[in-house]
Structure 1
Amino acid sequence: MKNLLTDIAGVSVGHADDADVASGVTAILFDKPAVASIDVRGGGPGTREDALLEPQNVVEAIDAIALSGGSALGLDAASGVQAWLAERGRGFRIRDAAVPIVPGAICFDLLNGGNKAWGRFPPYRDLGYAAANAAASDFRLGSVGAGMGATTAGLKGGLGSASATTDDGVMVAALAVVNAVGSVTVGTGPWFWAAPFEVDSEFGGRGQPSSFTPDMLKVRLKGGAQATAAENTTLVVVVTDAQLTKPQAKRLAMIAQTGMARAIYPVHAPLDGDVVFAAATGAKPIDPLFGLTQLGAVAANTVARAIARGVYSATALPFPGALPSWQDRFG
């Protein structure tokens, strides 16, 4: 167990980013098509193929997921991942044709100090292809890939991951790109809201404050009153080795959303585009009621841990006025 999304067999993750642009892409690839669905809770989402993932629609399984910076301009990252898969003959078969199924989601990182004067076309399609080409079982956390330009209220955001196993031996893992309008830490201190779910000091082992003061519970928003609906989003991918139907994957995504509420304060705001993808590789049978409920509960905890690890692992961008990292403040 690496405490990564790739602890699930048949899953690989790759990053590609541009330090000058201060943005990037993360590709999650499945060796075999994975049953998947989606749950969107934020008020300002940016997604691709979200309708396809609804349980009532035809396509059951996906080949990959693309996460990107760049706001709506970053949705083209999925085209790069799709091109990489097409070169290898992957995709939904329609007679002699194959169409790679690559849902995607983006976060807003266009005002983080990087050079966004990229010319006619944004770089995200090429970054998507490069991220797919770099996919492996090991990958970095923090200010990399889709998390390179991410920020939160007061601290640099980033990309995190975590994994767990249920009492029944079913594995679940999460990957999170944390670009929230809210805060991942309590007040102005080093404590993560996700502290009750931490495993083996994976994000510093600071625990919780001895008591919660009114100032700690004050709502802190990135940008304050100047925050706008397009500037934030936390993107999450949850993967399990359970056998799930598409409606069950939808339910898993819905339950896993509670992990955001355990790690970010506030969350699911009009200022966010929060989204959870849930995918199942189908290796292990699961009870459709109790088993799925237990899996969802563990998944939610794992999402909270992945969010905290993303901020804990981040490094500040090298631009004037850039937000400090957690390590800069408390490490």
Structure 2
Amino acid sequence: MKNLLTDIAGVRVGHAEDAKVASGTTAIIFDSPAVAAIDVRGGGPGTREDALLDLANTVERVDAIALSGGSAFGLDTGGGVQAWLAEQGRGHRVREALIPIVPGAILFDLLNGGDKAWGRFSPYRDLGYAAAAAAGTDFAIGSVGAGLGATTATFKGGLGSASAVTPDGVKVAAIVAVNAVGSVTVGNGPWFWAAPFEVDGEYGGRGLPDKFTDDMLRMRIKGGPAASARENTTIGAVVTDAVLTKPQAKRLAMIAHTGFARAIYPVHAPTDGDVLYAAATCEKPIEPLVGLTELGTVAANVVARAIARGVYCATALPFGGAQPAWRDRFGG
């Protein structure tokens, strides 16, 4: 176990970034189409193919998931991932036609100091293609891919991942790009809200403060009173090797979304666009009630850990006035 999304067999992850733009993309590639669903909790989401994932609709499996910076411009990322998949002969077959199915979600990183004057076309389609082409079983976390330009209320955001195994031997893992309007840390201190779920000191082993003060519980949000819709968003995916139907994947996404609330304070705000996908590679049968509940419980913990790891491993952008990283203040 690498403590990464790719601990799920048949899943690969790739990143591509543009340092000048201070933004990037992440492609999650399934070697075989995966059952997938989506749960949206934020007030300002930006998504691609979310209607296809509705439980009333026909297509059940996806070939990839695209995560990107760039706000609405970043929706082009899915087209780049789709183009790479098409070159590999992947896609949903309609007689002679093959259509790669690539849902995607975006976060807002347009005000982080990077040069967004890219001309007629944004770079995200090409970045999506490059991320898909680079996909493998090892990948970096922190200020990479879709998390390169991410920020939070207090420290630099980033992309994190974590994994676990249920007592029944089912694997579940998450990948999250953290660009929340709220804070992933308690007050201005070194403690992560997700501390109770930490494994082997994966985000510093600082635990929680001995007591909570009123100041620690005060709302800290990015932009303060000037915060506006769609400037934020935490996006990600939770993937399991369990056998799930599309409605069960939806339930997994709903339960796993609890991990956002365990790691971010406040969360699911009108100024967030929080989105979580759930996907299943369908290798190991589970009991549909208690088994799915247990899987969701572990998945929520894994999501919380991935969020904390994304901020813990982030590095500041190389621009004047850039938001400091957690490690700039508290060390590695």
TM-score (norm 1): 1.00
In structure 2, distance between residues paired with 1:284 and 1:188: 43
State the alpha-carbon separation in 2 of the partners of residues 116 and 62 from structure 1. 31
Aligned residues: 331
* Aligned pairs for 1:81-230 within 5 A: 81-230=81-230
Question: How far apart, in 2, do the equivalents of 1:285 and 1:165 lie?
Answer: 14
Does 1:63 pair with 2:63? yes
| Matched position secondary structure for 1:212 | coil
Report deviation, 1:55: 1.3
Matching residue of 2:248: 248
Alpha-carbon distance, 1:89 to partner: 0.8
Q: Distance in 2 between matches of 1:139 and 1:165?
A: 20
SS in 2 for 1:9: coil
Counterpart for residue 307 of structure 1: 307
1:76 paired residue number: 76
Counterpart of 1:37?
Answer: 37
Counterparts of 1:53 and 1:328, CA distance in 2? 40
Shift of residue 174, structure 1, vs aligned partner: 0.2
The CA distance in 1 between the partners of 2:60 and 2:154, in whole Å, is 40
SS in 2 for 1:36: strand
| Sequence identity percentage | 77
CA distance in 2, matches of 1:42, 1:302: 20
Instruction: Report deviation, 1:154.
Output: 1.5
1:11 has 2:4 as partner: no
Q: Which runs of 5+ in 1 are unaligned?
A: none
2:293 is the counterpart of 1:276: no
Name the CA distance, whole Å, in 2 between partners of 1:238 and 1:117: 34
Distance 2:92 2:243 in 1: 20
- Contact between 2:176 and 2:303, CA under 8 Å: does it hold in 1? yes
Partner residue in 2 for 1:50:
50
Match of 2:262 in 1: 262
Question: Once the 2 structures are TM-superposed, how far is the Cα of residue 230 of structure 1 from its aligned partner?
Answer: 1.3
Which amino acid in structure 1 is aligned with residue 250 of structure 2?
K
1:268 partner amino acid? H
The one-letter amino acid of 1:314's match is: A
TM-score by length of 2: 0.99
CA distance in 1, matches of 2:236, 2:100: 21
Contact kept in structure 1, 2:63 and 2:91, CA below 8 Å? yes
Q: Distance in 2 between matches of 1:329 and 1:230?
A: 28
CA distance in 1, matches of 2:290, 2:93: 35
Runs ≥4 in structure 1, deviation > 2 angstroms?
A: none
SS at match of 1:82: helix
Gaps of 5+ in 2: none
Contact 2:67 2:236 in 1 (8 A): no
Q: Cα distance, 1:6 vs. partner?
A: 0.1
2-structure distance, mates of 1:183, 1:273? 15
Question: What is the alpha-carbon root mean square deviation over aligned residues?
Answer: 0.4
For residues 330 and 216 of structure 2, the distance between their equivalents in structure 1, rounded to whole angstroms, comes to 17
- The aligned residue for residue 292 of structure 2 is 292
Return the offset for 1:14. 0.1
